[in-house]
Amino acid sequence: MTEADARAAVVQAVQRLDALGLNRGSTGNVSHRWDRDGQGGMLITPTGMGAELTVDDLVHVADDGTVSGRWQPSSEWQFHRAAYRARPDVQAVLHTHAVHATALACLDRPLPPFHYMVAVAGGNDVPLVPYSTFGSEALSDGVARALAQRDACLLAHHGLVTCGATMAQAMKVMVEVESLCQTYLLALPAGEPARLAADEMARVIEKFRHYGRRSRRDV
């Protein structure tokens, strides 16, 4: 992948989040890991991003926090860095205030294993990171702890973060978790949905490891 490819992936993700209505106003942010001169780091959307963003608007933030680009990086760049540090396998991080995930996060509740698709985040729940002010070290530490175990986490009274080995994977988890939060919130007024057992969730997680992988059929 070239730097141009990584920049294009970020801009396309911003446009997709906007088209899907997942990015509310200019509150979301998107990054792709990009190592420049062996300093590590990422390409990230600038503060106050909108769908009109171009590849030249992205900002590079090195692992030591050195910023290069014409704009200020997203005010939430620290937890993107924390995610990349916690997960060497991750290439892309997405953050939105998607309405249903955020509504659940405002109830101070994680997403429990009420539906088998919760396993899309890599475990038997989507954990909740306790509230800390945006841009704070405490919030970054909480995100790092949660994403060490999962590909998604809710931020209490704030929103949703997802990550993936590719931008497409991080986007898939974002779309799915937001949809699951909507379903969960719809079910809640009729009573707390029953939870799938841990061994069933483990079975689904194992199936997901193989599901969707292209494999040739012997005919």
Write the CA distances from 188 to 111, 114, 117, integer angstroms: 12, 11, 17
Q: Helix (H) and strand (E) counts for the chain?
A: 6, 8
d(CA 97, CA 155): 9
Query: Whose structure tokens read 């990230």?
Result: 44
Q: Per-residue x/- mask for Zn ion, residues 198 to 217, rule CB under 5 A?
A: --------------------
**Least CB distance to Zn ion at residue 162 (A):** 13
- Closest residue to Zn ion using C-beta atoms: 159
User: Looking at beta carbons only, is 45 or 91 nearer to Zn ion?
Assistant: 45
User: Looking at beta carbons only, is 41 or 159 nearer to Zn ion?
Assistant: 159
Residue 89 is encoded by which pair of tokens? Answer: 């396998």
**Least CB distance to Zn ion at residue 161 (A):** 9
**Least CB distance to Zn ion at residue 103 (A):** 14
Q: Per-residue x/- mask for Zn ion, residues 136 to 175, rule CB under 5 A?
A: -----------------------x----------------
**Least CB distance to Zn ion at residue 122 (A):** 22
Torsion angle, CA of 97/98/103/106, rounded to 10 degrees?
-20
CB 171 within 8 A of CB 94: yes
- With contacts defined by CB under 5 A, how many residues of the chain interact with Zn ion? 1
User: Looking at beta carbons only, is 159 or 164 nearer to Zn ion?
Assistant: 159
Could you write out the DSSP letters of every residue in 26-87? T--EEEEE---TT---EEEPBTT--TT--GGG-EEE-TT--EESSS-B-TTHHHHHHHHHH-
Supply the residues annotated as catalytic. 76
User: Looking at beta carbons only, is 20 or 205 nearer to Zn ion?
Assistant: 20
The residue ranges that bind Zn ion (CB under 5 A) are 159
